[in-house]
Amino acid sequence: MTEPQYPPQPNWAPPAPKPPKRRTNAIIIGAAAAVIAAVVGTGVFVVQAGGDDSKPAATTAESSAPDEDVAPAAEEPEPEVTYAALTPADFTMELRTTERQCFGSAGCNVTVEPTLSYVGDWNGVDPDAVYEITYEIRGDESGPVIGTAELSDETSLSYTPTLLSTASSGKKVSVKITDVTVQGY
């Protein structure tokens, strides 16, 4: 077998590939020029829109105290947010029947749950407060039933479903809010 024949190697090394041209400096200079143009343009716009151009701007040549002698301006505290006291008139409540079992002329056992709606002028419900809402349910055979629901986080209503015994299947059940109090934080 014969060995393959390769052409003779040149006496010099091939030229090194040229590194890609960097345009970083051109990009930085272009960006700086754009920022400067934007700042100058904004300044011109503010000066022209700043009021009456017929009066020259007042300048003073007075010197001021060094920066370390000037007291920093006191930050004004943000005003404390206050919430109006809520009343029963700020809400409406309806009852949603979740279970009903009737026994002919003997009446019915009905389970109801309150649904609450805010109807007052929205002046803000304290999101950190828990409101205790007391209500009276009418229509039970033995008389009015008092229930309480807790409103927290402005929208979460916690309650216990109420079981009523009505005199007949046609007896209407109604609810009325009697009190709203704020519980501790």
The answer to whether position 132 is within a domain reads yes
Buried b (16+ CB within 10 A) or exposed e, 9-45: eeeeeeeeeeeeeeeeeeeeeeeeeeeeeeeeeeeee
Quick check: 131 and 176 in contact, CB under 8 A? no
Structurally, the chain folds into a number of domains equal to 1
The answer to whether position 45 is within a domain reads no
Considering only residues 45 and 63, tell me which one the structure prediction assigns the higher pLDDT: 45
Which pLDDT does position 162 carry in this prediction? 95
**Domain of 114, in residue numbers:** 88-183
Considering only residues 17 and 120, tell me which one the structure prediction assigns the higher pLDDT: 120
The answer to whether position 54 is within a domain reads no
Beta-strand pair 145-152/174-183: unpaired
pLDDT digits (tens, 9 = 90+) for 68-77: 565 666 677 7
pLDDT digits (tens, 9 = 90+) for 146-184: 999 999 888 889 999 999 999 988 889 999 999 999 986
User: pLDDT class for 56, splitting at 50, 70, 90?
Assistant: low
pTM for the structure as a whole: 0.56
Residue 143 in tokens? 């008389």
Q: For residue 165, what are the β-bridge partners?
A: 109
The answer to whether position 103 is within a domain reads yes
For residue 60, pLDDT over 60 is answered with no
CB neighbour class for 149 (10 Å; exposed up to 12, middle 13-18, buried from 19):
buried
User: pLDDT class for 96, splitting at 50, 70, 90?
Assistant: very high
Which pLDDT does position 128 carry in this prediction? 83
